[in-house]
Amino acid sequence: MMPARKLSLIDRLPPVRGQYRADVALGPRTWFRVGGRADVVFRPADVEDLAAFFAARPADVPVTILGVGSNVLIRDDGIEGIVVRLGRNFADVVVNGEWVTAGAGALDVSVALSARDAGLTGLEFLRGIPGTIGGGLKVNAGAFGGEFKDVLVSAEAVDFGGQVHHFTAVDLGLGYRSSRVSEGYVFTRAEFHAAFGDREQIDRRMADITANRNLSQPVHARTGGSTFVNPSDPKAGGRKAWQLIEEAGCRGLKLGGAQVSEQHCNFLVNAGSATAADLEELGEIVRRRVFDRFGLWLEWEIYRIGRPAPRRGGGA
């Protein structure tokens, strides 16, 4: 039976045109396939609905934004408060000449394919990122030599107070896996600029990206993308995170149902029965081993969110 706390939370929320659902399992909505439940998931009907929700929601209720969960580890006891997910209503992609506008709920791959179909080059790298435009804006996602900041013109976002903002790419201050404007905003739309190109070359570039990804990343595994940010610390000696992890002897390391990928050791994978706690603890073991070897702490790239499950076996 659903806990009364979750039902009564919906009663406290403002009326919306979108949809509230209580007690939603989040594990199946993430790439890792782990994690607990959301008290309430809100799928807004459109930007106005999202803004009206924020303007009227009870201030004490925490809000978490989720895309398609390709860069998050949701902890085993789930997420308190409201999880906002922009569904199909925010997934449109419109091409107008050299400009491509996409809802923040659109998959990066859909934007790549729409641009290709219109004969536009510059957005091929989006083919290699399995997230949404909103998730990509938050971290300036990038792959195979391209990143959001190279092609972004502007973005629309709604803040947690219900104000709608329009940012230029410069306002966002996009850097390596970072944006100046990220906490307290939900991105709702982005505009990109591409260039007319040769359709065959665009196809070839996208095929190369797919082949390269399949070769280098565990794309068919339950994973969360790169686990740690590549460090800029001189102690790394120019090594990337995966090289530090490799040299610290962590390739293939296991804990419970979690494993450091054999294919790419900056990826953690759920080998089938992992809990979020297994994955997070394994990540911490990797960080400790890298520290012991190189004297630097790797920084998590994956967002770890929600409540940990209560510890097992702790008596009364």
Which residues are known to be catalytic? Answer: 177, 226, 301
Among residues 71, 110, 261, 266, which is the contact residue for ligand FAD, using CB under 6 A? 71
Q: Is 143 in the site for ligand FAD (CB under 6 A)?
A: yes
Contacts for 212 with CB less than 8 Å, ≥ 6 apart = 128, 144
Q: Is 225 in the site for ligand FAD (CB under 6 A)?
A: yes
Beta bridge partners of 147: 142
Among residues 68, 174, 194, 276, which is the contact residue for ligand FAD, using CB under 6 A? 68
End-to-end, the C-alpha distance of the chain in Å comes to 25
Measured distance CA(185)–CA(65) in Å, rounded: 9
**What phi and psi values does residue 124 have, to the nearest 5 degrees?**
-60, -35
Q: Is 265 in the site for ligand FAD (CB under 6 A)?
A: no
Q: Where are the alpha helices (DSSP H) in 57-129?
A: 108-117
| 297 burial level (CB within 10 Å; 0-12, 13-18, 19+) | middle
Q: Any idea which residue has 């890298």 for tokens?
A: 290
Q: Is 142 in the site for ligand FAD (CB under 6 A)?
A: yes
From 33-41, 69-77, 229-237, 243-251, span contacting ligand FAD (CB under 6 A): 69-77
CB 218 within 8 A of CB 224: no
Q: Is 42 in the site for ligand FAD (CB under 6 A)?
A: no
Q: Is 128 in the site for ligand FAD (CB under 6 A)?
A: yes
Strand pairing of 222-226 and 164-168?
A: unpaired
Which of 279, 294, 158 shows the shortest CA–CA distance to 227? 279
Q: What count of other Cβ atoms lies within 10 Å of the Cβ of residue 277?
A: 20
Residues in contact with ligand FAD, total (CB under 6 A)?
A: 32
Q: Is 290 in the site for ligand FAD (CB under 6 A)?
A: no
From 1-9, 40-48, 114-122, 221-229, span contacting ligand FAD (CB under 6 A): 221-229
Give whichever of 224 and 277 is closer to ligand FAD, judged by the CB atom: 224
Using CB under 6 A as the criterion, what x/- string covers residues 176-195 for binding ligand FAD? ----------xx--------
Q: Is 227 in the site for ligand FAD (CB under 6 A)?
A: no
Among residues 27, 35, 44, 69, which is the contact residue for ligand FAD, using CB under 6 A? 69
Report the interface residues with ligand FAD, using CB under 6 A. Answer: 31, 65-72, 86, 104, 128-132, 134-136, 138-139, 141-143, 186-187, 217, 219, 223-225, 303
